Amino acid sequence: MKIFVDTHTHTNCSDHVFSSLVENLAYAKKQGLQMICMTNHAPAIPDGAHIWHFCTMEELPREVDGVRLLKGVEANVLDTEGNLDMPSHILPDMEVVIASMHPPCFPPRTREEHTKAWLNVMKNPYVHIIGHSGHPSFPYDYETVIAAARDANKCIEINNHSFAVRKGCYENCKAIAETCKKLGTKIVVSSDAHNCFQVGVFDHALKILEEIAFPEELIMNLNAERFSAYLEEFHKGRGALA
Ligand SMILES: [Zn+2]
Ligand SMILES: [Zn+2]
């Protein structure tokens, strides 16, 4: 299986990231990708991008050397109410919004509290993707949350970077992918690249999907056409929620 869209990449506006947007785009081209999403960390996390980053990125080109660039954010879940660290007047302008739990912004709590937080995130009309929820510090009720994601037309992310940095991720991600398959919930596969050499690298995530014979029709970022159609459908449906 070949994935042509990387929905989660970072650039060196954060010090813990080692490549520029230009380098990410060049590597995406080399990897044969059709589209990448620049989704830098929102401001609440240490080393996150300054809020001005998100206000000016619309000036960037729509496409570079045949690779479509979507400008988004990896926002931080802040509390069990599902609040995010992006001002409400900026969030709607993001082309792609990932919501993630990171310990510095949301210290791990109980399984019930993580479940409650995710269920509240599902009510946010601007969030498209639930980021790396296989994080071992943030267990949650897979069936309940993944059914809610399906009903809210959000994608669960299978994050390739997690396998390198988070022990216990393999089992969690496999169980999450199996639940998505069972409930018919959409997913995206992402690199969460922190340097250009990781852009478009999905090997661990794809191995899991192959092991469980995950249906390709539920992978929204299989190619640019499908991901664009998903976003368009999402935005049409958002009017009722916003
Ligand atoms: Zn993250
Ligand atoms: Zn990330």
Residue 103 confidence (pLDDT) above 70:
yes
Q: What is the CATH number of the domain that holds 9?
A: 3.20.20.140
Region at 57 (left for phi over 0; alpha for psi -120 to 50; beta for the rest): alpha
Give 103 Cα–ligand 1 centroid separation in angstroms: 10
pTM of the model: 0.97
- Other beta carbons less than 10 A from residue 65's beta carbon: 9
Q: What is the pLDDT averaged over residues 131-152?
A: 97
DSSP 43: T
Q: What is the pLDDT averaged over residues 99-119?
A: 98
Residue whose tokens read 């080399």:
30
pLDDT at 241: 52
Give 69 Cα–ligand 2 centroid separation in angstroms: 17
Give 236 Cα–ligand 2 centroid separation in angstroms: 27
Residue 45's SS3 state is coil
**What is the distance between the alpha carbons of residues 75 and 124, in angstroms, rounded to a whole number?**
12
State the residue range of the domain holding 165: 5-241
Q: Which long-range contacts (CB under 8 A, 24 or more apart) does 28-33 make?
A: 28/67, 28/199, 28/200, 29/65, 29/66, 29/67, 31/199, 31/200, 31/201, 32/2, 32/4, 32/200, 33/4, 33/5, 33/6, 33/67, 33/199, 33/200
pLDDT at 164: 75
Please list, residue by residue across 126-163, b when 16 or more beta carbons sit within 10 angstroms of its beta carbon and e when fewer do: bbbbbbbbbbeebbbbbeebbbbbbebbbbbbbbbbbb
Amino acid letter at 161? H
Percent of the chain with pLDDT over 90: 94
Q: What pLDDT digit, counting tens, does each position of 187-234 carry?
A: 999 999 999 999 999 999 999 999 999 999 999 999 999 999 999 999
Between 168 and 197, the higher pLDDT residue:
197
Residue 165 confidence (pLDDT) above 80:
no
Residues near ion ligand 1 (Cβ under 5 Å): 100
Residue 97's SS3 state is strand
Select from 54, 50, 70 the least CA-distant residue to 62.
70
Q: Are 195 and 18 in contact (CB under 8 A)?
A: yes
Residue 242 confidence (pLDDT) above 70:
no
Q: What is the band of 167 on the pLDDT scale with cuts at 50, 70, 90?
A: confident
Give 7 Cα–ligand 2 centroid separation in angstroms: 10
Strands (E), 19-77: 35-41, 63-64, 67-76
Q: What pLDDT digit, counting tens, does each position of 31-71 carry?
A: 999 999 999 999 999 999 999 999 999 999 999 999 999 99
pLDDT at 79: 98
**What is the distance between the alpha carbons of residues 78 and 236, in angstroms, rounded to a whole number?**
27
Q: What is the band of 239 on the pLDDT scale with cuts at 50, 70, 90?
A: low
Q: What is the band of 237 on the pLDDT scale with cuts at 50, 70, 90?
A: confident
Q: What is the band of 168 on the pLDDT scale with cuts at 50, 70, 90?
A: confident
Mean pLDDT in the chain? Answer: 96
Residues 6+ apart with CB under 8 A from 135: 101, 162, 166, 169, 172
User: What is the total count of domains within the chain?
Assistant: 1
Residues near ion ligand 2 (Cβ under 5 Å): 74, 192
